[in-house]
Structure formats: C-alpha cells, structure tokens
Amino acid sequence: MNFQGKDIISMNDLTREEIDHILAKVDQVRNLPEKGRLCAGKVCAMMFFEPSTRTRTSFEVAMRNLGGEVGGFYDRKITSAEKDESLWDTVKMHDGYGFNVIVIRHPLKGAARLAAEAAEIPVINAGDGPNQHPTQTLLDLYSLQETQGRIDGLTIAMVGDLANGRTVHSMTEALLKYTDCRMIFISPRDLAMPRFLIDKCRKVGAQRNITVEEGSRIEDYISEVDVLYMTRIQVERLEERMAVVEKLRSIYRLEAGMLRNARPTMKVMHPLPRVTEIAPDVDATPHAYYFEQARNGLFVRETLLALILGAVQ
Ligand code: CP
C-alpha cells in the first residue's frame, strides 16, 4: 500500500484497509532505530488559521522526530490573508517554496479540500471548521485499539456538541467502515448530530450490523459503553448563543461519581481541550484516557508524515 503524495482530507477518502494499514504501521515507525533520519531534508508547511495546541505541537514534534523541519504560520493575523489574499493564493505560495507537505487548519468547511486542489504537494487536513479532523480520528482509532484491543463490535457513546464537533463527525464516518458497532449520540436537541450523518449511519450501518441511537442523558448509558467520547461545546461556532452554552455546560459534565457502574475496561476519551465537561476528579480514575490519547497523536502523526513523504510504505 503506497501513501506517498496522498492528501488526507476526510475519513471518507480512506478505505478500512488503508486505515488499518496506517494503524498497524504506528508501532513499527514509533520504534524504528532509523526514525530520526526518515524525513531528513523534508520540510512541512504549517498553515494554521485557527488556534491549536495538540495538533500543531504534535505535528511539529513529529516532523522533527523524523529528522525533518517545519515552517509556515500559526496565526492568520501575521499573513497577507489579513490583506484579503485568498486561501488559494496563500496555498499556492507555500506550494512553490520547496515545502514537501502542507498541514492546514481553517475555520471553513471545505478549506482543506480547496488547499489540496491548489497544491501540487500533499495536504493534510488538521481540522476544517465543523467538518472533519481526520488525523484526530486516526489517533482516536489507534487509542480504541490500544485500550479495547479492537474496533469492530465496540459500543461508543459520543457526548456534547455533536452538531459542530468535527472530531465526532470524522469518528462516525470512520466507524461506518467497521462492523457490529453500537453508536450512541448524546446531546441536547439543539446540538444533535447532523441529520445527514444519522441517515448515513442508518443506511450504511444496516449492511454492517451497526446501530445508532440518540439520547440526552450520559447517566443512561455509562454502564453499557466501552468508550465514552466526551466533547466540548464549540463556543467559537456558537458565538451568538452564549446563554445556551452556559446552560449546556452545567448539564453535560462528567464527574467521577457517575462512573461507579462503568465497565472496568471502559475508557473516557476526549479530543481536548476540555473546559467543564470532564471534572478534574475523573483524571484520577482508571477510566481516564484523554491524556494518553493525545500523546498517541504524536505517534500517529509521525507515521502519517513518514507514509506520505514516502519514507515508509
Ligand atoms: N484535538 C485537537 O484538535 O486539539 P487542538 O485544537 O489543541 O489542536
């Protein structure tokens, strides 16, 4: 399987075989004695039009761990986008300066796809508005395998702002490539999973023994799930509805006491950053996995860069 030069824009673009291949490569790349030379001479352009801690930092460290370098920007205010330069032209410039791969985060759905059309070099979507965050999903899938030993057959509850959370959209699309999963979407009605994704789950899921349910209370499902995937309310996409946000924050909050009846192997995951949706007392329980999950992002992104830059196959 050859990923050299491949864009990573949406989980829809990857087959199950390709996803499994990437996940299987992670442990191999992570431990390669020659890892520090795999991408020597290669440079990654970081084009971040939105804030980021984990995605930005882990891509940077991943590139350096592979012997490569990074350039680019992390704040649109220091770019000529502030002078109304188009995304197309901004990408074209980075494409022509000798970079080997672009990692882009942008507030608009479809921006990463547009960047991939503008660029000759491969483009990795680091989050495009409420749409997709495929590298987060790859590290989430790796974390499912790490903690549960499998992905097929899992019961996963996704909780919070399912309308605007790109990580849960990517995750849902990915799980539809597996079999026998039970997906439970827990959110207030205002922030429910988009209808088109529920419809897709029902249609595609029927062929794969995948079921979907919608609920509104975390407590109703805690004892039944393998993974509780918490998400934050995406305030940056709900600016004019702050009153709703405050109300939801108090309702969608996981506390350690609520985990009394959880399965011993149940893990709480979260793409982070968390705000109020996971109380600090959950961190000390054996169910908390979000910091390990974030660390897995480094290993998954190293592998992805090595594959796309042709350093491994
Ligand atoms: N999970 C995630 O994308 O985190 P950052 O926004 O900090 O990159």
* SS3 of the chain: CCCCCCCECCHHHCCHHHHHHHHHHHHHHHCCCCHHHCCCCCEEEEEECCCCCHHHHHHHHHHHHCCCEEEEECCHHHCHHHHCCCHHHHHHHHHCCCCCEEEEEECCCCHHHHHHHHCCCCEEEEEECCCECHHHHHHHHHHHHHHHCCCCCCEEEEECCCCCCHHHHHHHHHHCCCCCCEEEEECCHHHCCCHHHHHHHHHHHHCCCCEEEEECCHHHCHHHCCEEEECCCCHHHCHHHHHHHHHHHHHCCECHHHHCCCCCCCEEECCCCCCCCECHHHCCCCCECHHHHHHHHHHHHHHHHHHHCCCCC
Protein residue closest via CA to atom 7 of ligand 1: 53
The predicted model gives 32-48 an average pLDDT of 97
Q: How far is the CA of 208 from the centre of ligand 1 (A)?
A: 31
Indicate if ligand 1 lies below 6 Å from the C-beta of 125: no
Is 212 within the bounds of a domain?
Answer: yes
For ligand 1, whether the C-beta of 54 sits within 6 Å is: yes
147 and 287 assigned to the same domain: yes
Q: What percent of the chain has pLDDT over 70?
A: 99
Do 180 and 213 fall into the same domain? yes
Question: Residue 236's pLDDT is what?
Answer: 76
Verify that 76 and 151 share a domain, yes or no: no
265 and 304 both lie in a single domain: no
Give tens-digit pLDDT for 210-260: 999 999 999 999 999 999 999 998 777 776 667 777 777 777 899 999 999
Sort strands 69-73 and 267-269 into parallel, antiparallel or unpaired.
unpaired
Number of domains in the chain: 2
Q: With respect to residue 213, please indicate whether it lies within any of the assigned structural domains.
A: yes
At 69-89, the pLDDT tens digits run 999 999 999 999 999 999 999
Active site annotation includes 57: no
The residue type at 97: Y
The verdict on residue 1 lying in a domain is no
- Whether 169 is catalytic is no
260-311 pLDDT per residue, tens: 999 999 999 999 999 999 999 999 999 999 999 999 999 999 999 999 999 9
Statement to judge: residues 141 and 119 lie in one domain = no
Q: For the chain, how big is the Rg over CA atoms in Å?
A: 19
Residue 6 within a domain: no
Q: At 216, which CATH number? A: 3.40.50.1370
Give residue 275's Cα distance to chain centre.
17
Tell whether 279 and 156 lie within a shared domain.
yes
| Residue 115 sits in the same domain as residue 143 | no
Q: Which of 54, 166, 177, 232 is catalytic?
A: 54
CA distance 153 to 150: 8
Q: Is 272 touching ligand 1 by the criterion CB < 6 Å?
A: yes
pLDDT number for residue 233: 83
pTM of the model: 0.96
**Catalytic residue of the set 83, 189, 195, 260:** 83
Which ligand 1 atom is at minimum distance from the Cα of 56? 8
- Do 189 and 218 have their domain in common? yes
5 assigned to some structural domain: no
Q: Examine the residue annotation and report whether 54 is marked as an active-site residue of this protein.
A: yes
Do 208 and 107 share a structural domain? no
Query: Which residue of 47, 55, 56 sits with most ligand 1 atoms within 8 Å of its CB, as the best mutation to test the pocket?
Result: 55
* The pLDDT of residue 108 is above 70: yes
Domain that holds residue 17: 11-132+297-308
103 and 159 part of one domain: no
Is the model more confident about 276 or about 39? 39
In the predicted structure, residue 62 carries a pLDDT above the cut 90: yes
pLDDT 10s digits, 140-166: 999 999 999 999 999 999 999 999 999
Q: Please, what sign has the CA dihedral across residues 31, 37, 38, 43?
A: positive
Which member of 42, 105, 166, 177 is catalytic? 105
- Return the pLDDT at 234: 78
User: Does the active-site annotation cover 90?
Assistant: no
**Domain assignment of residue 2, yes or no:** no
Mean pLDDT (the chain, rounded): 95
User: Given this model, what pLDDT does residue 240 score?
Assistant: 66
Residues 288 and 189 in one domain: yes
Any domain includes 313: no
For residues 15 and 69, membership in a common domain is answered with: yes
Does some domain include residue 4? Answer: no
Report whether residue 136 contacts ligand 1, using a CB cutoff of 6 Å: yes
Q: Is the model's pLDDT at 127 over the cut of 90?
A: yes
Catalytic residue among 35, 42, 55, 231: 55
83 is catalytic: yes
Q: Is 301 in the pocket of ligand 1 (CB under 6 A)?
A: no
